[in-house]
Amino acid sequence: MANLTLRGVTQPAGLFEGEDGALRCSWCAASPVYRDYHDHEWGFPVTDDRRLFEKLCLEGFQAGLSWLTILNKRAAFRRGFADFDVDRVAAFDAADVERLLGDAGIVRHRGKIESTINNARRALELRHEFGSLAGFVWGFEPPAETRPPRLTWDVLRATTTSAQSLALSKELKRRGWTFVGPTTIYAFMQAMGIVNDHIDGCHVRALAGAMRARVALPGR
């Protein structure tokens, strides 16, 4: 992406200036919904198991689609999947699969619906072993010394996986999870703040970093 000129001012590559004058990652320019998600959710560290499970599931549903499509359907997904309560979803049966296939508010893909139920059961196994889903996934956070103090657009757009997303994907698959490829898992890690991929100059990057410095991680 080349530098953009808005209102006579050249914006750094990968950033755009919002109506409030703040610079944001350019991927969220498409709609106010996207900008709100960028400003208040994406990249902020999450240790709540329900939210982590929800994001893992929705990233699987996103395959082949845009995240904005899924974000616009998120309320319907939450209604259909019992607010992504792991215990309740793990108890879903064939009747629930058919119910969800008839729900026009979500992405009606049998394989992804069945995957979500399967993954809820696998999440219960992780919770039993590690105490929480958070305690497991945050164990794949990149070491501090490998995290770039600055992140440019060129680096971000060239990065779709990492050593940690490859490792987490491999381990989840070994444990029976589905729709958890390394690219899907890297997007999950970005969104949940396990990596901070707001690019340098985005007004949210420092906020997300400060929150990560304060958050207490399970088992640490």
26: Cα separation from own chain's centroid: 17
Look at the chain and count its residues. 220
Given a cut of 90, whether residue 154 has pLDDT beyond it is no
**pLDDT in the model for residue 10:** 58
**CA–CA dist 102, 80 (Å, integer):** 10
- Is 27 catalytic? The answer is no
Confidence of residue 56 (pLDDT cuts 50, 70, 90): very high
Given a cut of 80, whether residue 148 has pLDDT beyond it is no
Instruction: Give 10-35 as a DSSP string.
Output: EEPTTEEE-TTS-EEEGGGTT-HHHH
- Is 59 catalytic? The answer is yes
Alpha helices in 63-140 (DSSP H): 67-72, 74-80, 86-90, 94-101, 110-130, 133-137
> Whole-number mean pLDDT of the chain?
92
Residue 217 is given by DSSP the state P
pLDDT, one tens digit per residue, over 68-109 is: 999 999 999 999 999 999 999 999 999 999 999 999 999 999
Of residues 17, 41, 67, 114, which has the active-site annotation? 67
- Is 42 catalytic? The answer is no
Q: Are 117 and 57 in contact (CB under 8 A)?
A: no
Of residues 42, 54, 59, 153, which has the active-site annotation? 59
pTM of the full structure: 0.92
